[in-house]
Amino acid sequence: MPDIVDRTGDLAPSATFSSLRLHKSATRGFTTILKDKELLQLVNQFRATRQTDYGLLAQLLSRASVLIRVKYAKGKDLVVFRDTHSRSPKYHPTDTEAGAPDLVGLLEAISLLLDEDDTARIPWHHILTIIEEGKADRKDAPRQSVPYLASANQARPDLVGMYGVAISPVGYIIQYSCPAGLQTSEEFPWSDLVPLVSYVYTLYVPHPDFATRDPSVTLADTGDVLGPPAWNIRDGDKVYEKCVVRVVGDPWHRMTWVAKVGDTPITIKDSYRDVRSSFREGELYDILHKEGPAPGFLRVKKEYEVQWKRGCPITVTVDSTTRIKTRLIMHTWGESLRKCTSLVDLLKCMYDILEAHRWAVMERNIIHRDISHGNIFVQAKDSKGEDEEEFKGTEHRPIFVNEIIENTKNADPMARLGDLDNAAELDRKAAVSPSFVARRDTIDEPLRYRTGTPKFIARSPALGCLLVADIQFPSMPELPIHLADRYAQVYSNDRSGLRTFCDDGPTRHGGVYTKEMERKHKKNRKLCKTQFEHRPRHDAESVFWCIVVFLLLAVPSGSAPEDPLALDDPDEFGLTCAWKCIANHEIGQDGTGGCTQSSLTLKTFSWIWQIKSAQSGASLSRHLPPLHLHEAMQRIILQYIDLWKTQNKDVQFDTGRIRPAEIPDNRIMPQVSRKPSGNGQLVAAGSLRRKRPLNQLGPKEEPQAKRRRITMQGTDSYKEVPQNLPPSPRFKGRRRTRQGKKISLPLSPRFLPGCQLPLEYSLDADTSTKRLPSTPASLSTNLLRLSPTSDSQTLDTDSDAEA
């Protein structure tokens, strides 16, 4: 797999890490703490030991935490460090087993809860910091800690970044992970404890120069501290309670985080937008919905930048990348495309997605650029506001498939299209979005960037060039008489000129690739790249790949379980080859766009092959009508819907199962997924480095509860310092163990009046939670001074694209 560190600016040490990321006491430094005899004794013991000893390392860090808390943070809860190398955390929002970090930092109240139940595992959303011990491989520890930091980033929407430490007997390295990327310090020797103490101090007293916490997101009281999390999200004076995470994205790009509000269709989407982005998602939704909620798309209430204190949006910066946390509040919730119950329903959904997209191109000048399973929603429900108006642009509205097939007047779409993070205005001269208009004369062509989700991206954008080698494709498909008449009738107001179009003479989809064009491309190979732009037809091709991926993983109802061992034998399960090719596809990695191997197997689905054949000339967009591929695909899909309905050949799917398929080891972060990814946004990678085998460990460690008591209470200094600490508060609640026995719960400090948590700001009166107003969207012109100079010749990636 491509090393995940390569995507984060690698692990090159930063000489300015300490000054930029670590907070130090403004008084006399850490003189008293650095002279603490027990702390120094623990450091010497750790340096001298030749065997892995997680308990000793937990003692060392916990001792530093006790000293910092007593001297500088008496009003805050104690942070303790706990061995987790043999018991992985639970409840990660991606529904994966993301591995077991060696140690984690967490609140003492949570650690005490874990001590009461031998079967309990720490939830990811209680982790404050990650520690990896590298005694067996000193150089590997910093690299090994990276995926755990990324997982912790995803699990903590209330935290902006996550600190980690890679430790060995020689020294230690401190890391900081946030949506802008990863930063790594130089290696500090154990003779210099100032950075390590500063790291612990920063957990209690955050750095004042940048946001480390989002004060608008807090953990909700669900009655079970160690259970799955729910979140309260404040929007001005309104609080959306018990929001449950449904989607979380790449931790080092936008880190899109989507939560559903209770039982309502209201959805909240947080993401970190690159300040260099040419377009803003909220502004494009405003254009789509300028005449009321546009059919075929998600309903959106508003978008704004989230502030960590008055007038200061949450901003993350690593090297040349700067991102701002943006919140989108939507009034639509839908299920995954995987919930399509039958083959006919799947094709109806795909038809309606094509229809909504071509309407957006024709009527709103918007191109999506990232159609994938993760951006298509079925069985959608809306939350309508009291003053919300209905769609007014009915004269040239999108007309969906059931109006043709079922004769349903003003039929609702079977699927909705959402997530305009990568969307753009097609004609830059006609663009009206404020962010783009303000910078129109200073930025390059955004449509020349290669944008999309690897599983679903069209071939031409994947390579960043025109494909001129495959130009023989069929004429525009023709509908049978009974469908053609109905089709022409419902689309009588169509302005594209394609609803009744048929090829006449040598044209294919209305265009001709002449010998002169062919000679020009052969003579100057660079033309294929310089003439490339993302066009509407590329989004239509992404719809095709959505169909393919769905069918490769779909399970017909009543099917017997498949043997996973047969996946390695193409003769037994030939479609495995197609799945592996598509699932392992990376943008620009081969000369075919990742499609050649799968094409041979896809001929099994003759009707899919018919759709693919219609796309063969998709690179020649300069010589074809912009929506020709939409038209061709919709006609083919319509024919098969009609055929399978009239001949009773529909196939029902088991929406609770997918075919056993190995997740490729290629993107985002090392994970072990319980199920294959159909949406292309969760990609499991190779297994993490195995923890040291037993013969490399020290003496057998005692059970966690007893070991923690020894760590904290078996020292003289613990008797001197923590005796003055107030006892941990208790919860008004109970929790069941696996045996069904009820035990008392310590109350999470988050819900206690006057109790401050580590990493939480003490807001001034004018920045208090109650008084912080709703943050309106700021104009993009205010971001110009934050934007680094971008290379206008770069074609490899869009700064705002999350592939």
Percentage of the chain beyond pLDDT 70 is 70
**C-beta of residue 760 within 8 angstroms of C-beta of residue 73:** no
pLDDT value at residue 225: 93
pLDDT(706) > 50: no
Strand blocks (E) in 418-544: 424-425
**Is the pLDDT at 760 greater than 80, yes or no?**
no
Q: Could you report how far apart the first and last alpha carbons of the chain are, in Å?
A: 16
Residue 339: the pLDDT is 94
Give the pLDDT band (50/70/90) at residue 51: confident
Neighbours of 621 (CB within 10 A): 22
pLDDT (tens digit per residue) in 426-435:
998 999 999 9
Residue 433 DSSP code: -
pLDDT at 27: 60
pLDDT confidence bin for 503, thresholds 50/70/90: low
Average pLDDT for 400-417: 94
Say whether pLDDT at 611 is over 60: no
Angle of helix 704-713 versus helix 54-72 axis, rounded to 10: 50
d(CA 624, CA 638): 22
pLDDT at 506: 63
Instruction: Report the chain's mean pLDDT, rounded to a whole number.
Output: 76
Output the pLDDT for position 142: 79
- Cα(760)–Cα(480) distance, rounded to whole angstroms? 66
Query: What's the pLDDT score for residue 797?
Result: 31
Mean pLDDT of the 7-23 span: 80
Phi, psi of 673 (to 5 degrees): -90, 145
Q: Say which range, 425-434, 443-452, 573-582, has the weakest mean pLDDT.
A: 573-582
E strand map for 438-557: none
The beta strand positions in 639-757, using DSSP E, are: 672-673, 734-736, 742-744
471 has pLDDT over 70: no
With beta carbons less than 8 A apart as the criterion, state whether 229 and 245 touch: yes
The fraction of the chain above a pLDDT of 90, given in percent, is 47
Per-residue pLDDT, averaged over 370-377, amounts to: 94
| Residue 40 zone, left/alpha/beta (φ > 0; ψ -120 to 50; rest) | alpha
Residue 718 in this model has a pLDDT that exceeds 70: no
Count of CB atoms situated within 10 Å of the CB of 393 = 15
Quick one: pLDDT at residue 696?
Answer: 39
Of 417, 423, 396, 425, residue with least CA distance to 354:
417
Measure the CA–CA gap between 711 and 721, rounded to whole angstroms.
14
pLDDT in the model for residue 513: 60
In this predicted structure, which of 215-229, 332-346, 610-624, 688-702 has the lowest mean pLDDT? 688-702
Q: Alpha-carbon distance 364 to 290, whole Å?
A: 9
Cβ neighbours of 26 (radius 10 Å): 8
pLDDT of 599 > 60? The answer is: no
Query: Which residues have a Cβ under 8 Å from the Cβ of 480 and sit 6 or more positions away?
Result: 639, 642
Q: What are phi and psi of 300, to 5 degrees?
A: -125, 135
Q: Is 470 exposed, middle or buried (0-12, 13-18, 19+ CB in 10 A)?
A: middle
Q: Enter the tokens of residue 284.
A: 């494009």
CA distance 685 to 682: 10
* 492 against 500, higher pLDDT: 492
Q: Which of 329, 432, 311, 444 has its CA nearest to residue 782?
A: 311
Residue with the larger pLDDT of the pair 345 and 579: 345
The more confidently predicted of residues 742 and 365 is: 365
Residue at token pair 């937008």: 273
Mean pLDDT of 494-518: 69
Q: Exposed, middle or buried by CB within 10 Å (0-12, 13-18, 19+), for 32?
A: exposed
Give the bridge partners for 25, in sequence order. Answer: none
What pLDDT is stored for residue 723 in this prediction? 31
pTM over 0.75: yes
722 confidence band (pLDDT: 50, 70, 90): very low
**What are the pLDDT digits (tens) for 123-174?**
999 999 999 987 655 666 678 888 899 999 999 999 999 999 999 888 999 9
What pLDDT does residue 752 have? 32
